[in-house]
Structure 1
Amino acid sequence: MTLLSLLAFAGLCLLLSLTPGPDTFLVLRIALNRASAGVAAAAGSASAAIVWAGLVGVGLAAVLEQSAEVFRWVKIAGGIYLVYLGVSSFLKARRAARAGIKEGAQAPLPYSRLAGFGAGALSTLLNPKVGLFYLAVVPQFIPRGGNTLATAMVLGAVEAVIAFAYLAVVAVLAYKAMKWLRRPKVNSTLERASSGIIAALGVGVLASGAAS
Structure 2
Amino acid sequence: MDGQLMAFTGIAAGMVAMPGADFAVVVRNALASRRAGVATAFGVAGGLLVHTALAVAGLAAVLVAVPALFETVQLLGGAYLLYLGARALISVARRSAADGQAAGAQGGGPGPHPMAGPGTAPYLRQGFFTNALNPKAPVLFLSLLPQFVPAGQPALPRTLLLAAIVVGMAAVWFPAVALLVDRLGAWLRRPRVSRALEAITGALLTALGGILLAELVLT
Identify whether the pair has TM-score above 0.5, normalized to the shorter chain. Answer: yes
- 8 A Cα contact 2:145 2:159, kept in partner: yes
The offset of 1:125, in angstroms, is: 1.0
Matches of 2:52 and 2:218, distance apart in 1: 28
Look up the match of 2:115: 109
Over residues 35-93 of structure 1, what are the superposed CA-to-partner deviations in whole Å (9 max), with x where a residue is unaligned?
A: 22112111111122122111112211002222333222211210000000111122233
Amino acid at match of 2:41: A
The offset of 1:165, in angstroms, is: 1.8
TM-score of the pair, normalised by structure 2:
0.85
RMSD: 2.1
Look up the match of 2:214: 207
Look up the match of 2:184: 177
Look up the match of 2:175: 168
Matches within 5 A, 1:32-181: 32-100=31-99, 103=109, 106-110=112-116, 112-144=119-151, 146-181=153-188
The offset of 1:103, in angstroms, is: 3.4
The offset of 1:178, in angstroms, is: 3.2
The offset of 1:147, in angstroms, is: 4.3
Deviates more, 1:104-113 or 1:176-185: 104-113
Amino acid at match of 2:115: L
The offset of 1:197, in angstroms, is: 1.3
The offset of 1:104, in angstroms, is: 5.3
Task: Count residues in correspondence.
Answer: 211
Matches of 2:88 and 2:145, distance apart in 1: 35
The offset of 1:110, in angstroms, is: 4.4
Look up the match of 1:193: 200
- 8 A Cα contact 1:75 1:205, kept in partner: yes
Look up the match of 1:18: 17
Matches of 2:93 and 2:67, distance apart in 1: 39
| Structure 1 residues 147 and 44, CA gap change in structure 2 (3 angstroms) | farther
- 8 A Cα contact 1:13 1:163, kept in partner: no
Task: Identify unmatched segments of 5+ residues in structure 1.
Answer: none
| Structure 1 residues 103 and 151, CA gap change in structure 2 (3 angstroms) | farther
The offset of 1:138, in angstroms, is: 0.6
Amino acid at match of 1:211: L
Task: Identify unmatched segments of 5+ residues in structure 2.
Answer: 103-107
Pair member with larger Rg: 2
Q: SS at 1:30's partner residue?
A: helix
- 8 A Cα contact 1:85 1:199, kept in partner: yes
- 8 A Cα contact 2:74 2:216, kept in partner: yes
Matches of 1:97 and 1:138, distance apart in 2: 46
Over residues 109-168 of structure 1, what are the superposed CA-to-partner deviations in whole Å (9 max), with x where a residue is unaligned?
A: 346422111111111111121111110111112244544343323211110111232222
Q: SS at 1:109's partner residue?
A: coil
- 8 A Cα contact 1:81 1:123, kept in partner: yes
